[in-house]
Structure 1
Amino acid sequence: MAGKRHIAIAGASGLVGNAILRNALEDPSIEEVHVLCRQPLTVSHPKLLEHQVDFQLIPPLPEINEVYLAVGTTMHQAGSRAAFRAVDLTINLAVAQAARAAGAQRIGLVSAMAANPKSPFFYNRVKGELEAALTDLSPDGLVIARPSMLLGDREALGQPIRASETLTRYASRVVWPLIPQHYRPIQAQKVARALLHHVPTTDQTIILRSGEMQTA
């Protein structure tokens, strides 16, 4: 498989994950795109291979080079801290472990701007714990995207529109020059492009903040 990019994506139904999927399908350097999902996708493509899985028991994966982790929820949608951790940490880590077993040497992660395993805030702490757990897997390269407020068409993906994102989108048009670079809202498309650009060539752990992804 030398020289050929075979990638896996988890979370392709989400805002960033879907952008990663669509960009990957258009990327001529990527030969196969394996998507792990619970429900059938609405996308078809000659190099797309869909794997409907139970994330509690992921079967052995085909040989891959890279894995992109974009599974996530909100505290409101999860309903409890345990349920939130089971999605954002447990599922992403299980996919990463399965991908490493299938030969993946590089990992791309959609994390959160304030991720920190020692954070007093549960959401940020879980995100930080996942980053630490992925580091412990010792991949050749780990690219962690820490976006600020994400922008994109959630309605087109069948997701509820978040009032906070709508308010931020309109407010930022007025005060954009005053917002520090790393705190400005960012399009999910830019996060996806930044990950797909950095993951295949990175031989260390790097963190991409919003300001660094705005030009992707």
Structure 2
Amino acid sequence: MAPGHPAPPRTALLAGATGLVGRALLPQLLDHPGIARVHVLLRRAAPGIAEHPKLDLHQVDFAHLKRLPRVDDVYIALGTTIKAAGSQEAFRLVDHGRVLTVARLAREAGAKRLAIVSALGADRESRVFYNRVKGEMEADVAALGYEEVSFAQPSLLVGDRASLGQRERPGEVWAMRLLRPVLPLVPKGIRPIDARDVAAALIAATMSGKPGVHRLSSARMQGACPR
């Protein structure tokens, strides 16, 4: 690209648009002037996602995904909990297997930049199963050959799960009740974070044009989305 010329508009792909961060990512991607098209992968129809001239919806079976449309940037916000999945094996299938499959197929289709929602404490050597799976996912994805990879590592996510048709998570509810009176005193690194901030931070990192693997701490992402 010649100096002084605007960057050509990009095409993005989003997997996990019905979750807390994914639902925050979608409108921000659609509103971004540097993004011309957004392809969204869905397991089933999502009534909460409205039509938009930039939007292409693809209903897919993640267990039998074979190919993806050609895009420039990939955003993956797929994830579950061990309780919701029903077992550690089922959890790993989603948070490692499904994420890796989407990232690999998108890379094979020509994608250059990748942004993924991971977790605070992700570490492939961790004794905590959840953190270990997230760390293994990060390591395996980073080896796929993308020019640029950004992992968001948020602390406790804050958002309206009820409006997404999700059950409230008791741990999140109680943590917020206990922390709300002293929230300004809680260090940014472990302070609960709004899903909109995580989404904004991932988009900013992906649009920044800095090659390599980047990990976005929860402290760094706080306040990334203007209110």
Smaller-chain TM-score range?
A: over 0.9
Long gaps (5+) in structure 1? none
Amino acid at match of 2:42: C
> Is the Cα contact below 8 Å between 1:108 and 1:199 reproduced in 2?
yes
Which residue among 122, 129, 133 is the counterpart of 2:136? 129
Match of 1:20 in 2: 25
Distance apart, 1:30 and its partner CA: 0.8
Output the TM-score relative to the length of structure 2.
0.91
Distance apart, 1:171 and its partner CA: 2.2
Distance apart, 1:199 and its partner CA: 1.0
Match of 1:161 in 2: 168
Instruction: Give 3-state SS (helix, strand or coil) of 1:33's partner.
Output: strand
1:54 aligns with 2:61: yes
2:210 and 2:59 mapped to 1: Cα distance?
29
Distance apart, 1:173 and its partner CA: 2.1
2:129 and 2:210 mapped to 1: Cα distance?
30
Deviations 1:170-210 (A, max 9, x none): 32222223322100000000000000111122311111111
Deviations 1:30-59 (A, max 9, x none): 111001111013221111111111112223
Percent identical residues:
46
1:90 aligns with 2:97: yes
Tell me the number of residue pairs that the alignment of Structure 1 and Structure 2 aligns: 215
Match of 2:4 in 1: none
Distance apart, 1:167 and its partner CA: 1.8
1:33 aligns with 2:38: yes
Consecutive aligned runs of 4 or more in structure 1 exceeding 4 Å deviation: none
Deviations 1:106-150 (A, max 9, x none): 110100101000111111000000000111102110101000000
1:138 and 1:156 mapped to 2: Cα distance?
37
1:58 and 1:144 mapped to 2: Cα distance?
23
Which residue among 7, 10, 14 is the counterpart of 1:5? 10
Say what the alpha-carbon RMSD is for the aligned residues.
1.1
Distance apart, 1:215 and its partner CA: 2.2
Instruction: Give 3-state SS (helix, strand or coil) of 1:92's partner.
Output: helix
Q: Where does 1:97-112 land on structure 2 (aligned, <5 Å)?
A: 97-112=104-119
